[in-house]
Amino acid sequence: MRRVLLPLALVLAFSPAVGSELPGTLDLSALSWFYGRDYFVLRSGREQMIIQADRADLGPAVTFLLFDIKNSRQSTRKQNALNWEKESGVRHSALEVVLGGFPFTAVGHRTETSWEPVEGGIPCVRATWWAGGIRVTERFVALRAEGVFERRVELEGAHLAGPEDVTLRLGAPQNGANVRLFTVKEGAAQAASSTNGLEIGPLHVVPGGRVDVLTLMLAAVASDEPTPVPDGAAQPNAPGWSSALEATTTYWQNKSRVTVGDQTVRDIYDKARYQLAGMVGEDGTMNAGIFEYGAQWVRDTSNTALGALHAGDFEMARACLVRMLTKMVNREGVTMIANAFVQPDLEQFDQMGELLHLLKAYRDWTGDDSLISENRELLMAMIERPLRPEFRDETGMVHNRREFWERTFTDAYELAYQTHVIRGLLDAADVAEPLRAQAQAPRWRAEADRIRNAVLHHPAKALVNDGHLIKRRKVDGQIADDPADFAGSAPDVPLRTEQARRLMPDASMALPIALGVVDPHSGLAQHTLDFLEGLWNTRWSDGGYDRYHTSSQPDQPGPWPFATTFILRAQHEAGQWERSRRSLEWLNSAAGGRTGAWYEEISSVRSQVQACGLVPWTSGEVTLFVVRHYLGIQFKGDQLVIRPKLYPGSPPVAADLRFRRGRLKVEIGAKGKLKRVSYNGKRLTVSRDGVVQLPELNR
- Same domain? For 292 and 157 the reply is no
pLDDT tens-digit profile of 342-353? Answer: 999 999 999 999
For range 72-98, the mean pLDDT = 94
- State how far the Cα of 130 lies from the Cα of 135, in Å rounded to an integer: 5
For range 559-580, the mean pLDDT = 98
CA dihedral 351, 352, 355, 357 (to 10 degrees): -110
Confidence of residue 187 (pLDDT cuts 50, 70, 90): low
Query: What is the overall mean pLDDT for the chain?
Result: 91
Sheet holding 134-142, edge to edge: 112-118, 122-131, 134-142, 148-156, 210-220, 178-185, 188-192
For range 52-56, the mean pLDDT = 95
- Same domain? For 280 and 404 the reply is yes
Q: What is the pLDDT, as a whole number, of residue 145?
A: 85
Residue 190 dihedral angles phi and psi, to the nearest 5°: -105, 125
The 3 state secondary structure assigned to 19-79 is CCCCCCHHHHHHCCCCCCCEEEEEEECCEEEEEEECCCCCCCCEEEEEEECCCCCHHHCHH
Q: What is the pLDDT, as a whole number, of residue 572?
A: 98
Confidence of residue 189 (pLDDT cuts 50, 70, 90): low
- State how far the Cα of 11 lies from the Cα of 13, in Å rounded to an integer: 5
For range 665-673, the mean pLDDT = 91
Residue 661 dihedral angles phi and psi, to the nearest 5°: -100, 25
DSSP annotation of 229 reads P
- Same domain? For 643 and 617 the reply is no
pLDDT tens-digit profile of 298-330? Answer: 999 999 999 999 999 999 999 999 999 999 999
For range 109-131, the mean pLDDT = 95
- The last residue of a domain, from among 597, 630, 663: 630
Is pLDDT above 70 for 239?
no
- State how far the Cα of 564 lies from the Cα of 207, in Å rounded to an integer: 48
pLDDT tens-digit profile of 64-74? Answer: 999 999 999 99
Confidence of residue 240 (pLDDT cuts 50, 70, 90): low
- Same domain? For 351 and 419 the reply is yes
* Contact in structure between 19 and 25 (CB atoms under 8 Å): no
1 located within any domain: no
Task: Please compute, for residue 669, the number of CA atoms within 13 A of its CA located in the half-sphere on the CB side.
Answer: 5
For range 283-288, the mean pLDDT = 96
Calculate the CA 329 to chain-centre distance: 22
Q: What is the pLDDT, as a whole number, of residue 232?
A: 43
**Crossing angle of helices 350-366/415-430, nearest 10°?**
30
- Same domain? For 567 and 490 the reply is yes
Residue 431 three-state SS: coil
398 located within any domain: yes
- The last residue of a domain, from among 588, 607, 630: 630
168 located within any domain: yes
Q: Which residue has the higher pLDDT, 474 or 245?
A: 474
Calculate the CA 143 to chain-centre distance: 21
Q: How much is the CA Rg of the chain, to the nearest whole Å? A: 26
Element counts in the chain: helices (H) and strands (E): 18, 28
2 located within any domain: no
467 located within any domain: yes
- Same domain? For 645 and 577 the reply is no
* Contact in structure between 505 and 548 (CB atoms under 8 Å): yes
For range 488-511, the mean pLDDT = 93
Residue 338 dihedral angles phi and psi, to the nearest 5°: 50, 50
* Contact in structure between 692 and 683 (CB atoms under 8 Å): no
For range 465-475, the mean pLDDT = 98
206 located within any domain: yes
Q: What is the pLDDT, as a whole number, of residue 184?
A: 77
3 located within any domain: no
Q: What's the CATH number where 103 sits?
A: 2.60.40.1170
* Contact in structure between 595 and 38 (CB atoms under 8 Å): yes
Is pLDDT above 90 for 25?
no
Q: What is the pLDDT, as a whole number, of residue 608?
A: 82
Confidence of residue 697 (pLDDT cuts 50, 70, 90): low
Beta bridge partners of 289: none
What percentage of residues in the chain have a pLDDT greater than 90?
79
- Same domain? For 587 and 672 the reply is no
pLDDT tens-digit profile of 126-167? Answer: 999 999 999 999 999 999 988 899 999 999 999 999 999 999
- Same domain? For 558 and 465 the reply is yes
- Same domain? For 597 and 517 the reply is yes
Is pLDDT above 80 for 12?
no
Q: Which string of DSSP letters, residue by residue, matches 368-430? A: --HHHHHTHHHHHHHHHGGGSGGGB-TT--B-EEE-TTS-EEEEEEEHHHHHHHHHHHHHHHH
Q: What's the CATH number where 436 sits?
A: 1.50.10.10
- Same domain? For 215 and 328 the reply is no
Q: Which amino acid is at 577?
A: W
- Same domain? For 190 and 292 the reply is no
Residue 461 three-state SS: coil
Residue range of the domain that includes 510: 255-260+268-535+542-630
Give me the number of domains the chain comprises.
3
- State how far the Cα of 104 lies from the Cα of 97, in Å rounded to an integer: 5
- State how far the Cα of 572 lies from the Cα of 644, in Å rounded to an integer: 11
Confidence of residue 186 (pLDDT cuts 50, 70, 90): low
Query: Distances from the Cα of 1 to the Cαs of 51, 119, 212, in angstroms?
Result: 20, 35, 32
For range 446-458, the mean pLDDT = 98
Q: What is the pLDDT, as a whole number, of residue 120?
A: 84
100 located within any domain: yes
Confidence of residue 107 (pLDDT cuts 50, 70, 90): very high
DSSP-derived pairing of the beta strands 47-53 and 134-142: unpaired
Is the peptide bond preceding residue 228 cis, with omega within 30 degrees of 0?
A: no
- The last residue of a domain, from among 188, 222, 252: 252
**Crossing angle of helices 441-457/415-430, nearest 10°?**
150
- Same domain? For 236 and 318 the reply is no
Residue 528 three-state SS: helix
Query: Distances from the Cα of 330 to the Cαs of 9, 383, 385, 389, 422, in angstroms?
Result: 49, 12, 11, 19, 21
Residue 581 dihedral angles phi and psi, to the nearest 5°: -65, -40
DSSP annotation of 258 reads E
Q: Which string of DSSP letters, residue by residue, matches 148-200? A: EEEEEEEEE-TT-SS-EEEEEEE---SS--EEEEEEEETTEEEEE-TTT-EEE
Length of the chain: 699
Q: Which residue has the higher pLDDT, 22 or 104?
A: 104
Is pLDDT above 50 for 226?
no
pLDDT tens-digit profile of 585-644? Answer: 999 999 999 999 999 999 888 888 878 899 999 999 999 999 999 999 999 998 999 999
